[in-house]
Amino acid sequence: MTCDIVWLRDDFRLDDQPAIAAVAGRPALFVYIHDQRLQNGRPLGGAAKWRLERSLASLGRRLGERGARLDVVEGEADRILLALAAAAGAERALWSRRYEADAIALDRRVKAALRERGVEAASFNGRLMREPWDLARADGRPAGTFSAFWRRHRGLGPLPAPLAAPTRLVAAPWPAEAPRRTTIEALGLTPMAPDWSGDLAQGETPGEDGARATLARFLDRGLGDYADARDRLAPAATSRLSAALRFGELSPRRPATAVEAATAADPRLAAAADKYLSELGWREFSYALLYAHPDLATRALKAEFEAFPFRDDEPGFRAWARGRTGYPVVDAGMRQLWRTGYMHNRVRMIAASFLIKHLLIDWRRGEAWFWDTLCDADPASNPASWQWVAGSGADAAPYFRIFNPVLQGERFDPDGAYVRRWVPELQRLEASFVHAPWRAPAEALARAGVILGKTYPKPIVDHDAARARALAAFAAIRRA
Ligand code: FAD
């Protein structure tokens, strides 16, 4: 009996999954190969590993419900896939494309080797709304600004309708000669000693079912207010789908087309829908950048930033990572990240800006910290966003625009609810001081039980001095 192989990677769903749709009703092996080499040259971070385990478990259940089975193997993906294809006498091997240079190179090698052996090999778009090469300019590069990129994207017309999940799948038997299988649990993705994962993914349900339910809830209750509320820190005003998109529990075409359908039914949603779609657009822009710049996580897109006089400041980095900078909105964000593996987008911008501009610490260190601690840590969106904040990226925030963490906090968390939630030692401080406790009179601090430097840190840098230092550093690279 012949069979097909579906090689699963960051596309852990049945809905709108072209490789799985292509084998509906035919005997197939559905295989996940855990290969630590293939995350753009670095292993997955701790929080993302935790999330991966849950994504895989959910996919295993979903496949089981439709009559199929998830097989898990650990090791070098190319070697294992070729051995499996040979042992199974596979007719076809199918997968979703990847955009990291090392993964692309490996996929090309595997495709060529399979074809040489008479196995049909085909790849699909299972991760993006549109492929980077369909959006590139004549010189093969992505548009230089997001707005030009997004105009091209939208200009290609309606997205293809998402594919429905197949109703019946058929599991082929695991061949006797094939590489040895393991279990999801044996991959050791959840931390054990110590197990720090207790609060991870608060407010999220990993897996395809959870993602679909989250999307439905967002369409029902969140979309209408999205454009106005998305920057507010305390309410749950955004879709919380980033980790689901990262691991492909949801195809980006699904929220995109759902939001468009909601607008067609109620034109008052148009502005909110446009805003939401453009955020999905930033994800696509990040992937187009990663595709064009394989070293996006390690090299500044604007070459002059390679000469930026970053400082070694280990105590500063530690204070930032632990949420002990003395700037409440930064600390709240960093603690939310550590506890839950998630941080609100605006706080990501504020916290990243603080590390780079207030502390003059290299954006790559911050990117690596996020890579390790975010459940949605994404090989494209994470480095592209860090470079955007640093000023070295595509269509980046100008370097001289330096977020004032106090003003940002007061504007987007006016009653301090977000800070109070993640920085409990400031819980009882009046709203007028909660974003700048050092400005509070002694009686207000005493009433709230806050002793600066003891129960909560004093600011580790002065905002005005840090701002002046950052601008001077920037002026130095401009002169050079
Ligand atoms: P929503 O507001 O509901 O947005 C919908 C979807 O659009 C998101 O799920 C996400 O897939 C995408 N999206 C939204 N904003 C962006 C953006 N600026 N860039 C790229 N895609 C976006 N996002 C990640 O998915 N992974 C990362 O590793 C990541 N690292 C970041 C690092 C920094 C320094 C910054 C400033 C942003 C980063 N982002 C990253 C982007 C953004 O913060 C998150 O996608 C967003 O907060 C996720 O919450 P949500 O799903 O509720 O977003």
Low-confidence ranges of the chain (pLDDT < 50): none
Please indicate, yes or no, if residue 194 is contained in any of the structural domains. no
User: In this predicted structure, what is the pLDDT of residue 41?
Assistant: 67
Structural domain of 115: 3-126
Q: What is the CATH number of the domain that holds 285?
A: 1.25.40.80
pTM over 0.80: yes
Enter the tokens of residue 82.
């070729």
Q: What's the gap in Å between 479 CA and the centre of ligand 1?
A: 34
Q: Which of 108, 165, 182, 126 is nearest to 8 (CA)?
A: 126
User: In this predicted structure, what is the pLDDT of residue 229?
Assistant: 94
Please indicate, yes or no, if residue 176 is contained in any of the structural domains. no
User: In this predicted structure, what is the pLDDT of residue 39?
Assistant: 56
Residue identifier of the C-alpha nearest atom 17 of ligand 1: 282
Pairing state between β 120-124 and 4-8 = unpaired
Q: Which of 288, 11, 43, 263 is nearest to 149 (CA)?
A: 288
Same structural domain, 284 and 329: no
User: In this predicted structure, what is the pLDDT of residue 322?
Assistant: 97
Q: What's the gap in Å between 108 CA and the centre of ligand 1?
A: 29
* Chosen domain end from 292, 326, 349: 292
Same structural domain, 471 and 339: yes
Residue identifier of the C-alpha nearest atom 52 of ligand 1: 240
Side-chain-facing half-sphere of 248: CA atoms under 13 Å: 24
378 is in an annotated binding site: yes
Q: Which of 282, 304, 231 is nearest to 476 (CA)?
A: 304
E strands present in 12-140? 27-34, 70-74, 92-96, 120-124
Q: Which of 72, 92, 101 is nearest to 18 (CA)?
A: 92
Mutate to test the pocket of ligand 1, among 204, 345, 353 (most ligand atoms within 8 A of CB): 345
DSSP labels, 241-271: -HHHHHTTSS-THHHHHHHHHHHHH-GGGHH
Residues 6 or more apart whose CB falls under 8 angstroms from that of 220 comprise none
ipTM of the complex: 0.99
Same structural domain, 115 and 141: no
Atom of ligand 1 minimally distant from the CA of 371: 28
Domain total in the chain:
3
CA distance readout (Å), 288 to 116, 155, 249, 397: 30, 16, 21, 18
User: In this predicted structure, what is the pLDDT of residue 360?
Assistant: 98
What is the C-alpha to C-alpha distance for residues 49 and 45, in angstroms, rounded to an integer?
6
